[in-house]
Structure 1
Amino acid sequence: MKSFKALVVRESNGTVNYQIENQVNESMLDHGEVLIRVNYSSVNYKDMLAVQKNGGVIRNYPMIPGIDLSGVVEESTDSRYVKGQSVLVTGYTMGMSHTGGFSEYARVPSSWVVPLPKNLTLKDAMIYGTAGLTAALSINALEKNGMDPKQEQSILITGATGGVGSIALQILSKIGYKDITALVRKEKQIEVAKKLGATRVILLDDFKFDKKPLNKQTFHFILDTVGGDLISSLIPYVFYQGSVSVCGNAAGIKLDTTVLPFILRGINLLGIDSVNISHEDRMTIWGKLSEEWKITDTTLVNQITFEELSNTFDLLKEGRHLGRTIVKI
């Protein structure tokens, strides 16, 4: 194989730097049964952390980041995958301890590979990426715990114009939920959230948090994407036997609450992991995303090139990033 282009993160004397390198060769790619010619990747919060010093994502250097990719099989020693087949990969340790998707080529274990669903394009797959998978897993978990579009229920989405939140908002609106509140940080996000399907939008600064262990029952279900003090403050507002899904930590990793919402109201706290879920569960969720939950035609998405990755990382770091950003490889 000729040399190819990739974004490479290197560490030297305690300093972490990244740049596009045009002469990467196959020997830099980690092990795996399937070699993929990458068509698209996507940019996630974890990808931004991967290029930071002490970001807590990359385990060893040098590393090609990118936790998502879609592309075409170039070579495979696993008979389930053949040259020319369209596939996608998200999660596991890709872009962390295993070379990832910000590259023209990637090699991965065959157990990580998902055949591209028939109703999705390679671009669609990355419009979703890890963010879409996480949003769908969150909705799936909440519905297993009683969230139902046929019921009169109030649903709150935090970080509603971000990657996970914007997709969750669109899916919920599409499948028939009528009372969806979006919680956003900035005024310019209000109209965005409404266009994505929110029936009501609350500015974070306008929400009057009361630090009581239990507060007025306001939301039946919360789909949280940011974690930290925000979700800690919102848990006391959940209805009896309501549920909260938690999938992000942009606002911090600490959860400061009491046991009272759980033992007096029977509230469920549902942890959402999209990294290590089983292949069977992945296939189920990707099936939903390609059929009844498909929203790629209306998703807030920005397509960039390799050279624009740095600016997107800055937007994510500063909390100014909206929707989804995909990288055309």
Structure 2
Amino acid sequence: MDTFKAMRLEDVNGQLVFGLQNITLNDLSQGDVIIKVLYSSLNYKDMLAIQPKGGVIRHYPMIPGIDLAGTVVSSKSDAFEIGQKVLVTGYEMGMSHTGGFSEYARVPKEWVVPLPQELSPEQAMVYGTAGLTAMLSIFALENAGLFEKKEARVLVTGASGGVGSIALALLKERGYSNVTALVRKDYQEALVSRLGAQQVIRPEDLFVKEKPLLLKEQYDFVLDTVGGDVASHLIPQLAYGGAISLCGNAGGIGLQTTVLPFILRGVNVLGIDSVNISHQDRLAAWAELAQYQMALDTLQTDTIGLEEVPKHLEMLKTGSHLGRTIVRLTD
């Protein structure tokens, strides 16, 4: 472990340089647990992290990667044993704390989650932050009334992306039979249909030229991964007593609406955070995710090496990325 490989982001004379380097433990942030990283994964936030003014990285140099799964090689905490399989997602990892695009990572003990017995490290990263976010979104919608309504009209936006595709697979496995997927392009339709969408719509089916204060009640529940104008147009289309969960901002951070959907239809907006949730809630979500092997089998996944990360993050940026991309750190 004298030296090992990592994808490092540096500010060189005002220009961001992202590339493969040989580093040492001294280049890692401080923590109680050192993990040999077996797998990481790509997320929208990782793409933002390597952009100038992306709003993710706090200082340079930095190793991005908000997800990792691997084995403990050193621990100052009695809670973890050498050789134990673990995972880490969220917190400040890959932002102000060196992250998962590295053969080794060092993190605080409070961030570490024991790998559920039913999952391999690779499967855990097929889920990653995207799967955790999808599960938390479903939990929130179920608590808002979805659980008792298996035939409720459910819409998933950004349905071919990481969170959306996992959400479709999980909703199918949990018995929901009236799920619609919102996608942007023709080639995405086959994927979302295979994952469990009974109907597929496009943005032009959602947006209307005029902007009445309330629209026809189209959906009982919406799992939104996009934000911006998409979420703004969906809130007035929620049915009485419905709810929309918000977990992403690929479509923008603005939200334009009125109070009318809330005071005339009693709808609810549910904010989803997968970064700083409690350890207890994190454990519960991962325990639930581990029960859905069938969902894992239906997801579209690609596995790449560390050196291929920049190319695939660019695909995320341009919108040509489908499903989940897993980064394998071992040969």
The TM tier, using the shorter chain, reads: over 0.9
Give the distance between the partners of 2:92 and 2:84, measured in 1 at CA: 23
Instruction: Confirm whether residue 183 of structure 1 aligns to residue 201 of structure 2.
Output: no
Q: Which residue of 1 aligns with 2:83?
A: 84
Partner deviation per Cα, 1:254-297 (whole Å, 9 max, x = no partner): 00111111111111000000000000000000010011576212
Give the distance between the partners of 2:273 and 2:55, measured in 1 at CA: 17
Answer whether contact 1:63 1:96 (CA < 8 A) is retained.
Answer: yes
Instruction: Confirm whether residue 98 of structure 1 aligns to residue 97 of structure 2.
Output: yes
Give the distance between the partners of 1:2 and 1:79, measured in 2 at CA: 25
Query: C-alpha displacement at 1:151, in angstroms?
Result: 4.2
Give the distance between the partners of 1:293 and 1:265, measured in 2 at CA: 38
User: SS of the residue aligned with 2:240?
Assistant: strand
Q: Which residue of 1 aligns with 2:67?
A: 68
CA, structure 1 residues 149+173, in 2 after alignment: closer, same or farther (shift >3 Å)? farther
Counterpart residue identity of residue 156, structure 1 = L
Root-mean-square deviation (Å): 1.1
Counterpart residue identity of residue 31, structure 2 = G
Counterpart residue identity of residue 307, structure 1 = E
Q: Which residue of 2 aligns with 1:143?
A: 142
Q: Which residue of 2 aligns with 1:323?
A: 323
Counterpart residue identity of residue 218, structure 1 = Q
Answer whether contact 1:67 1:91 (CA < 8 A) is retained.
Answer: yes
CA, structure 1 residues 214+298, in 2 after alignment: closer, same or farther (shift >3 Å)? same
User: SS of the residue aligned with 1:273?
Assistant: coil
Q: Which residue of 1 aligns with 2:121?
A: 122
Q: Where in structure 2 are there 5+ consecutive unaligned residues? A: none
Answer whether contact 2:207 2:233 (CA < 8 A) is retained.
Answer: no
Summarize the alignment of residues 192-207 of structure 1 with structure 2, pairs less than 5 Å apart.
192-207=191-206
Give the distance between the partners of 1:20 and 1:296, measured in 2 at CA: 30
The runs of at least 4 aligned residues of structure 1 exceeding 2 Å deviation read 148-152, 205-210
Partner deviation per Cα, 1:164-198 (whole Å, 9 max, x = no partner): 00000000011110100000000111111100100
Q: Which residue of 2 aligns with 1:55?
A: 54
Answer whether contact 2:72 2:83 (CA < 8 A) is retained.
Answer: yes
Query: C-alpha displacement at 1:300, in angstroms?
Result: 1.1
Query: C-alpha displacement at 1:206, in angstroms?
Result: 3.6
Q: Which residue of 2 aligns with 1:26?
A: 25
Give the distance between the partners of 1:93 and 1:294, measured in 2 at CA: 31
Give the distance between the partners of 1:126 and 1:190, measured in 2 at CA: 24
Q: Which residue of 2 aligns with 1:307?
A: 307
Answer whether contact 2:90 2:276 (CA < 8 A) is retained.
Answer: yes
Partner deviation per Cα, 1:100-145 (whole Å, 9 max, x = no partner): 0000000000000000000000001000000000000000000000
Answer whether contact 1:127 1:324 (CA < 8 A) is retained.
Answer: yes
CA, structure 1 residues 328+151, in 2 after alignment: closer, same or farther (shift >3 Å)? closer
Partner deviation per Cα, 1:49-103 (whole Å, 9 max, x = no partner): 1111101100010000000000000000101101100000000000000000000
Answer whether contact 2:7 2:63 (CA < 8 A) is retained.
Answer: yes
Instruction: Confirm whether residue 261 of structure 1 aligns to residue 261 of structure 2.
Output: yes
- Normalising by the residue count of structure 1, what TM-score does the alignment of the two structures yield? 0.98
Q: Which residue of 2 aligns with 1:131?
A: 130
Summarize the alignment of residues 229-248 of structure 1 with structure 2, pairs less than 5 Å apart.
229-248=229-248
Give the distance between the partners of 2:247 and 2:154, measured in 1 at CA: 16
Give the distance between the partners of 1:155 and 1:222, measured in 2 at CA: 6
Query: C-alpha displacement at 1:211, in angstroms?
Result: 1.7
User: SS of the residue aligned with 1:296?
Assistant: helix
Query: C-alpha displacement at 1:148, in angstroms?
Result: 2.5
Query: C-alpha displacement at 1:152, in angstroms?
Result: 3.0
Give the distance between the partners of 2:11 and 2:324, measured in 1 at CA: 28
Answer whether contact 1:174 1:293 (CA < 8 A) is retained.
Answer: no
Query: C-alpha displacement at 1:314, in angstroms?
Result: 0.9
User: SS of the residue aligned with 1:201?
Assistant: strand
Q: Where in structure 1 are there 5+ consecutive unaligned residues? A: none
User: SS of the residue aligned with 1:295?
Assistant: helix
Q: Which residue of 1 aligns with 2:297?
A: 297
Give the distance between the partners of 1:19 and 1:128, measured in 2 at CA: 25
Q: Which residue of 2 aligns with 1:271?
A: 271
Q: Which residue of 2 aligns with 1:168?
A: 167
Query: C-alpha displacement at 1:12, in angstroms?
Result: 2.3
Query: C-alpha displacement at 1:150, in angstroms?
Result: 4.3
